[in-house]
Amino acid sequence: MSCFPCISFRREDILDYDEELKLRSMERLVDAKGMGSAEEGGRGRGRDQRFSKKGNMARSFTFKELTAATQNFKDANMIGEGGFGNVYKGRLECGTVVAVKQLNLEGLQGHQEFVVESRPYLKDPKRFIEMVDPLLEGRYSAKSVQHAIVVTAMCLQEQANNRPSIVDIVSALEYLQSSKKKKPPSRQL
């Protein structure tokens, strides 16, 4: 079972784990010599440096990165099971050993843990920025983030009759998109 059953991926998109590690080692060697990273036009190297400067900021991972780190969620890498789901031991491209939780969609405990862990972020608008994808690199307004989180919170209501209709969601997101395109009025007479 995949972590996100609604997302499908092709087997050829997942590189052999050892091959992936060798490739990453070669890229780090090139980076260490000051030649820049071949990955993503040089962006890969700056991304990790940016996270280390910010201290305890959480890092986002793609499903492909997690799959590579856990060797396609291999049973031999499973280190635990619980109501939340399975926990796998993995190794990131930089060599860091990590534990990856794979959500069990049938279990309620995972949902409850997620709600408990996310509650402090959702109650304090000053912490909304911590939930934004760091790859956006500040290219958003705090008001837009707050609006997007409010829309998200409405969609996550436990009672179905409290959730907005898809028409309401589309309207809210269109408003958010249109507010980004508006320019301040000109002060010329």
8 Å CB contact between 150 and 142: no
- pLDDT, position 127: 78
Residue 91 is predicted with a pLDDT of 92
Higher confidence at residue 93 or residue 82?
A: 93
Locate 15 and state its tokens. Answer: 């590189």
Tens of pLDDT, residues 7-47 = 444 444 444 444 554 555 555 444 444 444 334 444 444 44
Which has the higher per-residue pLDDT, 107 or 119? 119
Per DSSP, the residues of the chain read --S-TT----GGGS--HHHHHHHHHHHHHHHHTTS--SGGGGHHHHHHHHHHHTSS------HHHHHHHTTTT-GGGEEEE-SSEEEEEEE-TTS-EEEEEEE-TT-SHHHHHHHHHHHHHHH-GGGGGGGS-GGGTT-S-HHHHHHHHHHHHHHT-SSGGGSPPHHHHHHHHHHHHHHHH--PPP---
Rg (CA), the chain: 20
Architecture of domain 11-103: 2-Layer Sandwich (3.30)
Residue pLDDT, tens place only, 117-168: 777 777 787 777 777 777 877 787 888 888 888 888 888 888 888 888 999 9
* Contacts (Cβ under 8 Å, ≥6 apart) of 189: none
101 is annotated as contributing to ligand binding: yes
**Domain-wise residue ranges, the chain:** 11-103, 109-181
Provide mean pLDDT across the span 51-64.
64
Token couple for 17: 């784990």
